[in-house]
Structures are given as C-alpha cells and as structure tokens.
Amino acid sequence: MDDLQFGIRNKRGDWAPKARIEVAPIYAMPPKPIALLKWLPHYFLPWNLLFAASALAYWRFIVPPAETLKTLQIGWALWLFATNCVAVFLFYSAIELRLYVLRSQGNHFKYNARFPADKPSDVFWFNSQNAEGMLRTFLTGVPIWTAFEIGMLWAYGNGIGPWVGFADHPLYLAALALLVPVYHETHFFLIHRLIYWGPLYRWVHSVHGATGVIPDITPSTPHPGRRSRCTRSSNCSTSHRFSCM
C-alpha cells in the first residue's frame, strides 16, 4: 500500500495524513444519527472487539474466584502481577518486533521517520529509549496498574461496589459495555488536557514527552504520577468489563 496516496512526507521523511482528524460521530453536536450508524462497525472492529474478548478470557482464566478475592493474599496478587507482565511483554513485543526490529513496514505511515535504535541518546537510561521504556514499564507501569486492579477486585469480593451477572442484568451490562470505551476516551482526553498544564507537565508528562519517536512500549512508560491517573480510568473500565462477564 502506497502511504503517499493518503498523506505527504517532508524532507526528513516524516509522514503526515492529508485528511483532517475528525471527532467521532458519537460526540457530534447536534447529533448525527446516520453518521453514527455508519461509524458503529468501526467502533467495534477490530480493536474494541479484541479488547472485549481479551477481558472475557482474562476474567475466565486469570482472575481468582470471588471467595479468594475477599482476602488480600500475596499468592493471587503475585499471580495477577506476573500475568500482567507476561501479557504486556507479549503484546508490545509482537508489535515492536515487526515494526521496529524487523521494520517490516519500513517508514510507511510513520509520523517520525527515525527509529530509536539508530540514534542512541543520553536523554534516556543507558542511552537507549527501548531499555528505558522496558524498565519504566515493568518497574512502575505494570506494578501501579496491578495495584489498582488488586484493590478493585478485593473491593468487589467484599461487596464494596456492584458485582452483577449478565443473566440478571443483560441490558444494563450490554449498555455498560458500549459506554465503557467512550468513558475511557473521555477520561483520557480530560486527563491529558490537565497534564499539559505547565507545572503538571514538568512533573508528570515530561518523561513521556521526551521520547519524540514513539515505539510501542513507550506509551506504557510515563511518570508514575501520570500512570496512577490514567490507570484509574483503565482499571475502572476493565473491572466493569470483567464484572459483566
């Protein structure tokens, strides 16, 4: 596929799309029902359907029974942490291998033509953006994410917060499953507007903003302050999705 049919490339080789970024019809004011109906298949396919399937599999095979969740124990907490580490490693490594190691796509559709490995920088730990990304992910990102998850599952196990089954509330849970991605995107947008404010940017977002070239592991490597804010959204939505299954 020729990416120049859809965008342009500057002298540095950076690609940019020709089309303007548009807000999804679900946010349109006044409402556009016809555009919304045409957009819905793209809302589900492929990523949200894949995420829903992964949530179902995670709930079925990974999350301990409700009786176990009533008591905080190191065993099931470490089980969740280890599973999350493996999942993150496999998911991001598969994409990283194809796009940044094998470079199967070259710089097609690549906003920044550079590859991190081509230009080591002392801005990053060990002069390697990939090394810093991996270390930040597994030293702060996954632990904070898992801690929120453990806390929420413990709360559900002890009756703190709703825990409902699909058989009893199918319409409520179906509607919730549709709205969770919208809630996540709205929360994500508002949090980013907040952390681009000068003082918060310097304290929270500058670690992420220093990357320039964004390989797949990089979005999981923010400052712990940003991670805790964003994790509130992702874990709330994930836990609701899990409780729906």
Of 47 and 78, the structure prediction assigns the larger pLDDT to: 78
Domain contains 156: yes
Domain contains 21: no
Domain contains 16: no
Domain contains 24: no
List CB contacts of 56: < 8 A, sequence separation 6 or more. Answer: 245
| 194-233 tens-digit pLDDT | 988 888 888 877 776 666 565 555 555 554 544 444 444 4
Among 63-77, 100-114, 157-171, 206-220, name the one with the lowest average pLDDT: 206-220
Number of domains in the chain: 1
Domain contains 226: yes
Whose tokens are 């953006």? That residue is: 129
> For residue 127, what are the CA distances in angstroms to 21, 47, 140, 182?
34, 33, 19, 38
List CB contacts of 224: < 8 A, sequence separation 6 or more. Answer: 140, 144
Average of per-residue pLDDT across 61-84 = 95
Average of per-residue pLDDT across 19-28 = 85
Give this prediction's pTM. Answer: 0.76
Confidence grade of residue 121 (pLDDT, cut at 50, 70, 90): confident
Domain that holds residue 181: 71-244
Q: Given this model, what pLDDT does residue 232 score?
A: 44
| 52-67 tens-digit pLDDT | 899 889 999 999 999 9
Average of per-residue pLDDT across 119-126 = 80
